[in-house]
């Protein structure tokens, strides 16, 4: 299969598909963290290149329910934040409606303010061999739900110092956005 991993710089999902023999490429505005097929630039430059499958991880900063608190600081609408959220929705919907036969969009629970379509599935890292909680929604086009591969005991708190959720530092956002290997492997095995 010809697989596009949109908005991925880590190479995690891309490399899981390559390991299973697929022609996979990641794309992001950032350079890839590990060597491999990667387009650094605008996803729309390559979106129409006859892909069979796209898995996309669009930025969630302005769309997530967790970020909704910033829409009304001091109980007044933050117009700039609202406009950023509407631009993020436009980007999200452009990926979701791309002319690619099979699509998975991955993001956290969205804020209802932006009216994204209802997601099809919610997954957790602890269903794929990682003892963490990170509620992740999947919007699916012509793909079956992703089946859990290895249940493990989840940590009761995701704010354990030094874990993926709370590592801090300049790469905090990048670390939080990286797909867990067990989830990437499940996507490649079940959808590849």
- Residue 161: the pLDDT is 45
Q: Is the predicted pLDDT of residue 14 greater than 80, yes or no?
A: yes
Which residue bears the tokens 């493990």?
A: 152
Sequence-ordered alpha helix ranges (H) in 11-53 = 12-19
pLDDT in tens, 54-71: 999 999 888 888 777 778
User: What does the alpha-carbon distance between residue 179 and residue 129 come to, in Å, rounded to a whole number?
Assistant: 13
Residues 143-165 pLDDT 10s:
999 999 999 987 765 554 444 45
pTM for the model: 0.90
Nearest 5 degrees, angle CA 157-CA 159-CA 163? 105
State how beta strands 2-6 and 23-28 pair: parallel
Domains located in the chain, CATH noted? 2-125+135-149+179-191 (3.40.50)
């Amino acid at each position: 299969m010809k697989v596009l991993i949109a908005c991925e710089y880590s190479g995690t999902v891309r490399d899981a598909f390559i390991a299973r023999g697929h022609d996979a490429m990641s794309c992001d505005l950032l350079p890839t963290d590990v060597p491999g097929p990667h387009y650094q630039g605008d996803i729309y430059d390559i979106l129409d290149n006859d892909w069979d499958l796209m898995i996309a991880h669009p930025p969630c900063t302005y769309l997530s329910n967790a970020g909704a608190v910033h829409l009304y600081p001091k109980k007044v609408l933050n117009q700039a934040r609202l406009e950023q959220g509407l631009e993020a929705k436009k980007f999200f919907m452009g990926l979701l409606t791309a002319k690619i036969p099979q699509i998975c969009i991955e993001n956290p629970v969205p804020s209802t303010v932006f009216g994204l379509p209802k997601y099809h599935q919610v997954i957790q890292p602890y269903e794929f061999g990682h003892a963490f909680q990170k509620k992740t929604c999947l919007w699916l086009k012509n793909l079956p739900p992703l089946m859990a591969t290895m249940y493990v005991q989840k940590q009761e708190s995701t704010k354990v110092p030094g874990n993926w959720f709370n590592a801090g530092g300049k790469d905090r956002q990048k670390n939080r956005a990286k797909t867990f290997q067990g989830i990437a492997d499940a996507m490649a095995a079940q959808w590849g």
